[in-house]
Amino acid sequence: MLATTLTSSRIETRPNWAEVSLSALRHNFRVVQQHVGADVTICAVVKCNAYGHGVEECAPALEQAGAKWFGVTSTDEGVVLRECGVTGRILVLCGLYPGEEEEALRHSLTPAVFRLEQAESIARAAARLALAQRVAIHLKIDTGMARLGIPLTELEAFAEGVKRLPQIELEGVFSHLASSEVLDDEDTARQIERYEAALRTLANHRLHPPLRHLANSGAVAGRPNTWHNFVRPGLLLYGYEYAPSRHDGSPVTNVSALPLKPVLSWKTHILGLRDMPAGQPLGYGGAYVTPAPARIAAVSVGYGDGLSRKISVRNGHDPALCHIHPSVGHGEVLIRGQRSPIVGRVSMDLTLIDVTRIAGAAIGDEVVLIGRSGTEQISAWDMARCSDTVVYETLCNLSKRVPRRHAE
């Protein structure tokens, strides 16, 4: 049994909660640090409420484990970290919105920049605040993902411009890989080459940013040539890998999986239990009709909690005909250590489960959506596959109304 502490002050009446193991989180941080070696700094990516795990508890736990840097999306996420006592460096990965500069500097956040005007605005804010020290920034370069980042064609102008800003120190230069886990991906090889070329261009302008970073979790796991002296893993810290693969989809066998522990479990209860005759349509649209008499449990979870409606199960769903993934539409939960299928459409607050084969199933039984029950386990990746998405979305979608219970 996990000793749980309830971190939310609100009253919980609905049995639907996530258990977050801070010891597993700290373990994963140490596994990653050991993997990359002590000379490589880890920037623990805790954006989007620590991938749904609860940032106010997770970031301090990571700091305890030795994290010196944290990656967030925006200034407001960085301020939340400061308010919960994080003293380490905080990199704002998507940069600052115009007008936020003073707020970011007052909280000692480190902005990413991808346009010279951003660096100029930060320099003006630093002057207004009469800061004694130069403000460190990290330049984001677009090496091929075509999302955020300065194009290589504008790099020389940036380099000359930033040197004219005495308040600014170009501390870091980084880029993001589009397919880091696909080890034979040619576009990734080109991204890495462009990143190296960008470093050379900056060096030609006598700029040598000490922190160089490219690697997210996929690259941390399988591409040591991208580590430089700084890496930015998110997913690995929460206990999941995007298994390294090849372009044709085949797995890579010479990269060993890291000994990570999933950090989050998601649980609910059986709220109602009824015996249904054969031919009974279940739930919205009657999308599932009982083929034989069945015992059906209503459990307290729905898409309002973040359970994707795509996990709903219809009759006659043939995995062989599923064009997305054979498991899509084959959602399962664990009850009394056994796998039990979701039946019918997931609705906002309730989901139906066929418990005909679960001896003694009763109202109040624990239902595991993600996690272990007896010897069975459903991972967040399993749930993601059944919902036609990736584990990132499954974790981040866990909604606000699911209380997170953090256990040491």
Ligand X SMILES: Cc1ncc(COP(=O)(O)O)c(C=O)c1O
Contact yes or no for 279/295 (Cβ under 8 A):
no
**What is the closest distance, in whole angstroms, from the C-beta atom of residue 13 to ligand X in the complex?**
34
Taking the least distance from each CB to ligand X, the nearer of 176 and 345 is 176
In the complex with ligand X, which residue's Cβ is closer, 27 or 267? 27
Structural contact between residues 245 and 183, judged by C-beta atoms closer than 8 angstroms? yes
Residue number, nearest CB to ligand X: 234
Rounded CA Rg of the chain:
24
Q: Do the bridges between strand 366-373 and strand 332-335 make them parallel or antiparallel, or are there none, so unpaired?
A: antiparallel
Question: Active-site residue among 47, 140, 240, 267?
Answer: 47
Q: How far is the CB of 74 from ligand X (least distance, A)?
A: 12
Q: Which residue has the tokens 């998601």?
A: 266
Which residues 6+ apart lie within 8 Å of 278 measured at CB?
290, 291, 292, 293, 294
**For ligand X, which is the closer residue by CB, 93 or 125?**
93
Report the nearest approach of ligand X to the CB of residue 48 (Å): 9
Least Å distance, CB 45 to ligand X, is 4
Q: How far apart are CA 186 and CA 7, in angstroms?
A: 46
Helix (H) or strand (E) holding 17: strand 16-21
What phi and psi, each to the nearest 5 degrees, are found at residue 138?
A: -120, 125
Beta-strand relationship, 168-174 and 135-140? parallel
In the set 68, 97, 163, 284, the catalytic residue is 284
Q: Is 284 a catalytic residue?
A: yes
Q: Which is nearer to ligand X, 32 or 207 (CB)?
A: 32
Tell the residue number behind the tokens 């411009």, with chain if given: 161
What is the rounded CA–CA span in Å between residue 258 and residue 237? 11
Nearer to ligand X, 74 or 312 (CB): 74
**In the complex with ligand X, which residue's Cβ is closer, 18 or 395?**
395
Binding site for ligand X (CB under 6 A): 45, 71, 93, 176, 216-218, 232-235
Q: How far is the CB of 285 from ligand X (least distance, A)?
A: 35
The distance of closest approach from Cβ of residue 93 to ligand X in the complex, given in angstroms and rounded to an integer, is 5
Say how far apart CA 137 and CA 175 lie, in whole Å. Answer: 14
What is the chain's length?
408
Report CA-CA distances (Å) from 102 to 77, 79, 98, 257. 15, 12, 10, 43
CB 57 within 8 A of CB 406: yes
Tell me whether residue 267 is one of the annotated catalytic residues.
no
State the residue for tokens 């209380």.
403
Q: Which is nearer to ligand X, 145 or 287 (CB)?
A: 145
Q: How far is the CB of 347 from ligand X (least distance, A)?
A: 31
Q: What is the chain's percent helix, strand, coil content, to nearest 5?
A: 30, 25, 45
Which residues are known catalytic residues?
Answer: 47, 284
